[in-house]
């Protein structure tokens, strides 16, 4: 991949003003890809000021011109596919199916957002005052501060910045320090498409511990869009709340699949194996727990183990590999510790994994209780905790026994009953006869409880990045 050693501020590339040098690493080989100087507080201020200035012009740009700009962005993305793929593989360890998915989805996001400029509808409302006319205008909020994660470094970045730009806002992006190249690749794509005012989009990189608070507390941004852990999301929400800023928080998940006694067990096992292990389990929507009725438990576990064994673990550059490395050694150690503590607490390994560097081979744990770490924590790795229950009521209670509420899944032979039961699951999204990883650009995306605030995609994204204003006109004198 290209070495992105500069920050993108005000339409220009420049060295960061932070005090330290940071490195970008390949999580599979451990090789240093390149070094860059961190952004500093002055960079944050310059980026926000540039975005605010450019946004005033952009907000007044006709919708057709905004649509044309998004069309140019889409073409630039298509031309940059080799560089996007290189970023995903080399700095995040993405395997080919995962990289292909990201490349497909970001194109779909832009296509969907091309309709946004003409969907910012207003209203004319009657008045109780004689001679008064009430007009409601939907307008951009101003500047959006976007903080994105490493696990889906293109999708989860573009999901915020594309609708923000499409609805007339400026953007300052701070990526995870584990995937800075993805953000700067996006900046390069936006620059090359040449369709947006210079300074409308800015990308700065540095450790969250150094510049994260300044990204949120700076007076310019009207919206903070954060995707990441629930712990950091709480801090972001608190800081934004003190300044009465709008927030979009897409946070952690501890998602469950329920397998009922009338389910197609083999189909459920195939879905569970994918939902647990896709992207080495590093998916906020991924399955952490599978709650299985006693009548089909043993058959399901046997099928799940066989399906999981089919996945090849290794170098993400090899096309047949399905499970690549986790992002860094800290994450690998965390997963290993969760598994070990759970086994000491009584869980059994129906499929025993192992750790080699940053490669974590998949685990299937049985005999798991709801208070074991592999059940009550978001593992964010290829570990499946199977929980045995003897009633639907206990299955629902186990699924809801988490502070999170992002996604969920139910397998059953009775689809209508599955829909009824899905409404009892405390999650923003529940999928009947499918695993929990689903995202469509025209369908609402978002969680409940500690999994976040706000909704993404389509009209829900328009609502998040715009605001209604009331303008009244008095035709007849009142005084």
Helix 297-309 × helix 265-277 angle, to 10°? 50
Residue 3 φ then ψ, to 5°: -85, 110
For residue 345 the two structure tokens come to: 């607490």
Number of CB atoms found within 10 A of residue 69's CB: 23
β-pair type (246-250, 223-227): parallel
Question: Is the CB of residue 170 less than 8 Å from the CB of residue 153?
Answer: no
Nearest Cα residue to 23 out of 1, 2, 3: 3
- 266 Cβ contact list (under 8 Å, min separation 6): 303
The residue written with tokens 């080989």 in the block is 29
- The continuous run of DSSP H or E covering 160 comes out as helix 155-166
Q: 346-352: which pairs have CB atoms within 8 A and are 24 or more residues apart?
A: 346/372, 347/372, 347/374, 347/385, 350/301, 350/304, 350/305, 350/386, 351/305, 351/308, 351/309
The residue written with tokens 């220009």 in the block is 12
Number of CB atoms found within 10 A of residue 31's CB: 9
Question: Is the CB of residue 163 less than 8 Å from the CB of residue 108?
Answer: no
Distance between CA 417 and CA 426 in Å, rounded? 17
Q: Is 266 a residue of the active site? A: no
- 262 Cβ contact list (under 8 Å, min separation 6): 412, 413, 414
Helix 180-193 × helix 155-166 angle, to 10°? 40
Q: Which of 250, 307, 378, 392 is catalytic?
A: 250
Q: Which of 284, 376, 384, 404 is catalytic?
A: 284
Distance between CA 94 and CA 28 in Å, rounded? 10
Q: Is 79 a residue of the active site? A: no
Annotated active-site positions, please? 250, 284
């Amino acid at each position: 991949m290209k070495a992105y050693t500069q920050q993108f501020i005000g339409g220009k590339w420049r060295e960061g003003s932070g005090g330290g040098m940071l490195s970008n690493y390949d999580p599979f080989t451990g090789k240093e890809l390149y070094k860059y100087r961190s952004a500093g507080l002055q960079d944050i201020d310059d980026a926000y000021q540039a975005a605010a200035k450019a946004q005033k012009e952009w907000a007044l740009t006709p919708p057709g011109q905004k649509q044309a700009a998004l069309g140019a962005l889409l073409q630039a993305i298509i031309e940059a596919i080799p560089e996007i793929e290189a970023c995903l593989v080399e700095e995040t360890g993405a395997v080919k199916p995962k990289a292909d998915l990201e490349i497909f989805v970001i194109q779909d996001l832009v296509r969907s957002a091309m309709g946004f400029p003409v969907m910012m509808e207003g209203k004319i409302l009657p008045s109780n005052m004689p001679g008064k006319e009430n007009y409601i205008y939907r307008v951009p909020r101003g500047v959006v501060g976007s903080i994105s994660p490493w696990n889906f470094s293109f999708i989860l970045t573009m999901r915020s910045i594309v609708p923000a730009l499409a609805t007339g806002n400026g953007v300052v992006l701070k990526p995870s320090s584990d995937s800075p190249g993805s953000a700067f690749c996006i900046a390069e794509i936006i620059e090359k498409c040449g369709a947006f005012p210079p300074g409308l989009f800015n990308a700065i990189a540095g450790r969250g511990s150094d510049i994260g608070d300044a990204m949120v507390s700076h007076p310019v941004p009207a919206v903070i869009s954060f995707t990441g852990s629930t712990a950091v999301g709480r801090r972001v929400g608190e800081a934004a709340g003190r300044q009465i800023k709008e927030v979009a928080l897409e946070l952690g998940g501890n998602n469950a699949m329920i397998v009922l006694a009338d389910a197609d067990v083999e189909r459920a096992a195939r879905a569970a194996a994918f939902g647990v292990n896709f992207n080495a389990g590093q998916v906020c929507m991924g399955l952490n727990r599978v709650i299985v009725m006693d009548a089909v438990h043993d058959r399901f576990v046997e099928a799940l183990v066989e399906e999981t064994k089919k996945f090849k673990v290794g170098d993400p550059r090899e096309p047949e590999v399905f499970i690549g490395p986790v992002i860094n050694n800290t994450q690998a150690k965390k997963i290993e510790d969760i598994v070990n503590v759970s086994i000491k607490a009584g869980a059994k390994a129906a499929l025993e994994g192992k750790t080699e560097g940053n490669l974590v081979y998949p685990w299937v744990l049985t005999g798991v209780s709801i208070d074991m770490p592999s059940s009550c924590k978001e593992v964010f790795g290829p570990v499946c905790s199977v929980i045995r229950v003897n009633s639907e009521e206990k299955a629902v209670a186990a699924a809801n026994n988490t502070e999170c509420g992002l996604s969920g899944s139910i397998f059953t032979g009775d689809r209508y009953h599955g829909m009824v039961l899905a409404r009892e699951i405390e999650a923003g999204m529940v999928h009947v006869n499918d695993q929990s990883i689903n995202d469509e650009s025209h369908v609402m995306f978002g969680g409940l409880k500690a999994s976040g605030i706000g909704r993404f995609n389509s009209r829900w994204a328009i609502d998040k990045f715009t605001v209604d204003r009331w303008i009244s006109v008095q035709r007849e004198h009142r005084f």
